């Protein structure tokens, strides 16, 4: 789709490298998904989200998660107005198209759970009233993988609501030189799509063809994380991926095909996304930690063990 390529080109005016992050944001956007971005500070995670919002002319808000943050800081609150003798609703930052939850694991579980209803139901309850969130709506959360002091690990139920988890590394040397040059000559990001374009893409992605054999392949891959039959590392898995992972992988694969301007899903479209969809949904036991077995090893083995249609 030329619209997706145009959006991508605009984002690249502000972001050097990080192709996987850019593609993942677009995949999540056109499949109504949410994305968890993990990476050390200073690698343009926030800049990437801002660039996406500008390129599609949609609203963007950022919330810095801290230990003293309250759920109402995100969702909103009822405020008593003495003049009218009534309670009024003051809507929170979540009423936007793109919500950047910066360092999501710095806030306690009560705050993290405030996002659950919004991410799944796309609505927020304030007092006794329900409010529908804008459409499109996407949560992009970041977390720092290194500094774990004073953080609150995301519970499995919360992690499962993120369609993709992208791990962002440092730029290459050549990319970093380009970044320095870009600082002296910044390029303006222009809107190349609008709300109607995005809603249209969200409908069109459903029409991307995926063969029944590939659906079976995806289900088999996910099932292998729960009831390992083909891999030697099965004993290290404490918790496998949920059916939501199967749905996410099917939808993300369709979007990945659309990004490549195809109207059908190929096995390569699926394989590229398996780590991004499954890694944060698998929980390993203490034996894995003791024997230095990680999720990457397990996912690679699953991909190798299951025959590609």
Which contacts qualify for 230-236: CB closer than 8 Å, 24 or more apart? Answer: 230/302, 230/305, 230/306, 231/298, 231/301, 231/302, 231/305, 232/301, 233/288, 233/293, 233/297, 233/298, 233/301, 235/287, 236/284, 236/285, 236/287, 236/288, 236/291, 236/293, 236/298
The string over 35-56, giving b where at least 16 C-beta atoms fall within 10 Å of a residue's C-beta and e elsewhere, is: bbbbbeeebbbbebbbbbbbbb
Cα dist from 237 to 64, 183, 297, 298, whole Å? 33, 45, 12, 9
Domains of the chain, CATH where assigned: 2-184 (3.40.50.300), 208-305 (1.10.8.80)
Cα dist from 37 to 57, 110, 234, 276, whole Å? 22, 21, 27, 10
In whole angstroms, what is the distance from residue 309 CA to residue 302 CA?
A: 15
pLDDT along the chain (309 residues), means of 10: 89 91 96 92 84 94 90 87 81 93 86 82 85 93 74 80 92 88 86 95 96 97 90 87 96 97 96 96 91 92 92
pLDDT score for 169: 87
pLDDT score for 150: 62
Tell which residue, 245, 244, 243, has the closest CA to residue 279.
245
């Amino acid at each position: 789709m030329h619209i997706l390529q145009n959006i991508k080109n605009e984002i690249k005016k502000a972001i050097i490298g990080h192709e996987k992050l850019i593609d993942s944001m677009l995949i999540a956007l056109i499949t109504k998904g949410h994305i968890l971005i993990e990476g050390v500070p200073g690698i343009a995670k926030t800049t990437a989200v801002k660039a996406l919002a500008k390129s599609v002319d949609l609203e963007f808000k950022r919330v810095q998660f801290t230990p003293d943050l309250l759920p109402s800081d995100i969702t909103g609150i009822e405020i008593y107005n003495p003049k009218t003798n009534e309670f009024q609703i003051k809507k929170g930052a979540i009423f936007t198209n793109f919500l950047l939850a910066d360092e999501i694991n710095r806030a306690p579980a009560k705050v993290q759970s405030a996002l659950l209803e919004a991410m799944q139901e796309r609505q927020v309850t304030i007092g006794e009233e329900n409010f529908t969130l804008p459409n499109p709506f996407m949560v992009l959360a970041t977390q720092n993988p290194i500094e774990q002091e004073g953080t609150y690990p995301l519970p499995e139920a919360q992690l499962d609501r993120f369609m993709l988890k992208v791990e962002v590394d440092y730029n290459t040397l050549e990319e970093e030189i380009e970044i320095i040059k870009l600082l002296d000559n910044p390029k303006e990001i222009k809107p190349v799509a609008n709300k109607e374009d995005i809603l249209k893409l969200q409908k069109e992605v459903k029409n991307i063809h995926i063969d029944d054999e590939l659906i079976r392949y995806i289900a088999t891959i996910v099932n292998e994380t729960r009831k390992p039959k083909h891999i030697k590392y099965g004993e290290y898995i404490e918790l496998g991926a949920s059916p939501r992972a199967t749905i996410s992988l099917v939808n993300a694969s369709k979007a990945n095909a659309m990004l490549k301007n195809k109207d059908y899903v190929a096995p390569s479209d699926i394989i590229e996304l398996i780590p991004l969809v499954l890694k944060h949904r698998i929980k390993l036991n203490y034996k894995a930690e003791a024997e230095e077995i990680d999720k990457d090893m397990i996912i690679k083995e699953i991909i190798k063990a299951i025959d590609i249609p």
